[in-house]
């Protein structure tokens, strides 16, 4: 336990003086190995061990597919079709913003991909129609959470690898919760506009001609989620193979829409390499950290300590959710999973909580951290995309926590919402 406390204190100290999370994890692991008398060769061995899983190949593929689709004319066509389909509903483009995120979530696999891709398009259109810019940014940020819950999902891939559960079942488990998040946000916007809490211009009138034209122009873009998810849900391809198909399909769309440019292709690959390297390094370092934690029996000591508080699984889920919400506001999601899963898995197993269900709860919880100050990376992304101050976005994102937290509570305490579709795979 003393070694664990020392490692944790070193980690916090390094974060406090400005070290990146990955380097803070690595150096604190080195300190723990040295203090515990372990062979230092464990670190490079575990680094390699942590990133050699076949499932993890899906991460760079889906990241690359999302980046390519952002430059292949797909995001604009998805937005145009969504606008033609539901732009006449009260809330207009605010509702379109949410619906477009649902469609794009079947492509990107990350919330940041939604923010960077659809975000600029949605904000530009909303501001031009009279929506306030900070509100547009906040709504885009809130709806981007859907992008990493409805499959494919990079956070789900990381969780499935660490928790040793089926990534296919976890993907399918995210469908209903993802749609629930969209419905909750849509209802919040509808009620807010109706009561005058949210100022919105009058919605445009519905046009069958416009719907037909945008569907025709965006047919291949709209088929992207069908192609990517259809193979996985039908059992034809694995998530990793679906990632490869997504990349090929993105290139196909770029050619069809005459958006294929070597410069944008290069930018897409470079951005994907950077994101993949960061994630893989974190997973490798986290594996080494987890090895030390397991060797010192810390997960069992900590889980026993938590179980002394309560053995009621509903109360334990509440405690875990509060803990994760706090951690998510000061750290990124992947490091939290790497550090906390070895501690939390024995607890949920002993209380009979399904690992698939917990994967949805934990991933969604940590995605909320992405839009929560002070560290929330999504806030900084939208600040850069929208050219807004960090504080102005924070002020407008706060009301959206109401539907998002309510949805988290429902997903947490009604596990069948996550487990019903995966059960059909049997």
Q: Which residue in the block uniquely carries the two structure tokens 């999504």?
A: 378
Q: Which residues contact 315 (CB under 8 A, 6 or more apart)?
A: none
* Confidence grade of residue 25 (pLDDT, cut at 50, 70, 90): confident
Residues 6+ apart with CB under 8 A from 36: 3, 292, 295, 296
Give the pLDDT confidence of 366-396 residue by residue, as tens digits: 999 888 887 677 787 777 777 788 888 888 9
Name the residue among 24, 30, 29 with its Cα closest to residue 11. 24
Contact 78, 100 (CB under 8 A): yes
Count of residues in the chain: 426
What pLDDT digit, counting tens, does each position of 66-125 carry? Answer: 778 777 778 888 888 998 998 888 888 889 989 988 888 777 777 766 666 677 778 888
Q: Find the radius of gyration of the CA atoms of the chain.
A: 22
Instruction: Give the chain's end-to-end CA distance (angstroms, integer).
Output: 42
Look-up: residue for tokens 């490869």? 244
- Per cent of the chain over pLDDT 90 is 22
Distance CA(300)–CA(344), nearest Å, equals: 9
Whether the predicted pLDDT of 1 surpasses 80:
no
Token duo for residue 133: 């810019």
Percent of the chain predicted with pLDDT > 70: 96
Dihedral class, residue 164 (left if φ above 0, else alpha if ψ from -120 to 50, else beta): left
pTM: 0.85
In this predicted model, which residue has the larger pLDDT, 354 or 144? Answer: 354
Give one DSSP letter per residue of 169-200, joined into a string. HHHHHTHHHHHHHHHHHHHHHHHHHHTTSS--
């Amino acid at each position: 336990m003393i070694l664990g406390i020392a490692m944790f204190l070193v980690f916090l100290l390094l974060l406090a003086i400005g070290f990146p999370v990955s380097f803070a994890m690595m150096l604190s692991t080195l300190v723990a190995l040295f203090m515990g008398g372990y062979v230092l060769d464990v670190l490079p061995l575990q680094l390699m061990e942590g990133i050699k899983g076949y499932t993890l190949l899906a991460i760079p593929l889906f990241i690359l597919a999302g980046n390519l689709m952002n430059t292949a004319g797909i995001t604009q066509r998805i937005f145009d079709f969504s606008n033609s389909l539901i732009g006449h509903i009260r809330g207009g483009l605010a509702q379109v913003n949410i619906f477009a995120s649902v469609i794009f979530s079947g492509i990107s696999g990350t919330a940041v991909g939604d923010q960077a891709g659809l975000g600029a398009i949605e904000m530009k259109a909303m501001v031009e129609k009279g929506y306030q810019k900070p509100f547009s940014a906040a709504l885009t940020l809130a709806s981007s959470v859907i992008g990493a819950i409805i499959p494919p999902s990079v956070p789900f891939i990381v969780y499935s690898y660490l928790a040793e559960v089926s990534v296919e079942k976890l993907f399918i488990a995210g469908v209903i919760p993802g749609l629930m998040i969209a419905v909750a946000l849509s209802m919040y916007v509808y009620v807010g506009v109706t009561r005058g809490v949210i100022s919105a211009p009058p919605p445009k009138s519905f046009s069958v001609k416009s719907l037909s034209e945008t569907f025709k122009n965006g047919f291949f873009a709209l088929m992207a989620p069908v192609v990517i998810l259809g193979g996985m849900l039908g059992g034809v391809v694995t998530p990793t193979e679906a990632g490869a198909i997504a990349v090929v399909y993105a290139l196909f769309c770029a050619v069809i829409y005459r958006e294929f440019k070597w410069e944008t292709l290069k930018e897409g690959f470079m951005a994907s390499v950077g994101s993949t390297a960061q994630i893989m390094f974190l997973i490798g370092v986290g594996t080494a950290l987890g090895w030390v934690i397991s060797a010192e029996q810390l997960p069992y000591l900590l889980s026993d300590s938590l179980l002394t508080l309560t053995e009621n699984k509903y109360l334990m889920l509440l405690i875990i959710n509060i803990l994760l919400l706090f951690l998510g506001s000061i750290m990124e999601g992947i490091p939290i999973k790497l550090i906390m899963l070895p501690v939390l898995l024995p607890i949920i197993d002993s209380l009979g909580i399904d690992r698939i269900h917990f994967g949805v709860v934990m991933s969604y919880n940590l995605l909320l951290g992405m839009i929560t100050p002070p560290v929330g990376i999504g806030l900084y992304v939208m600040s850069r995309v929208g050219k807004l101050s960090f504080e102005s976005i924070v002020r407008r994102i706060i009301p959206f926590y109401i539907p998002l937290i309510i949805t988290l509570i429902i997903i947490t305490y009604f596990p069948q919402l996550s487990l019903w579709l995966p059960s059909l795979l049997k």
